[in-house]
Amino acid sequence: MHCLEIISRINSETQRTPHPLRLHPRIFALRQGIRGMAVQGDYVSRLYAALYQYADQFIGRPHYAPDEGWDDLEALQQVTLGEWMEESIRSRLADCGDGS
């Protein structure tokens, strides 16, 4: 079996259904913002996960004027970094609880 056939088979088994809000203008703008960031893949994956987890809340957020509050991309980054930090703390606490 050729490599391309293997990759095609793997991809066909793991297809995800697209998020229903993916084409909403605010979500689309956030996706474009994430795509334009020069950051590592792990962070980008976390940003996309948080975006779709909280998509309905981003749509419901008020539009802030400049210097009035975080724009959508800043809010997404804050949520993502907060969850990442909490995950890291829980992981370290679990490691400490093992008696290491």
Question: pLDDT of 52-81, one tens digit each?
Answer: 999 989 888 888 777 887 889 999 999 999
- Looking at residue 12, its pLDDT comes to 66
Closest listed residue to residue 27, CA positions, set 64, 53, 6: 53
15 has a pLDDT exceeding 70: no
- Looking at residue 34, its pLDDT comes to 93
Contact 51, 34 (CB under 8 A): yes
Q: How confident is the model at residue 24 (pLDDT cuts 50, 70, 90)?
A: confident
Q: How confident is the model at residue 32 (pLDDT cuts 50, 70, 90)?
A: very high
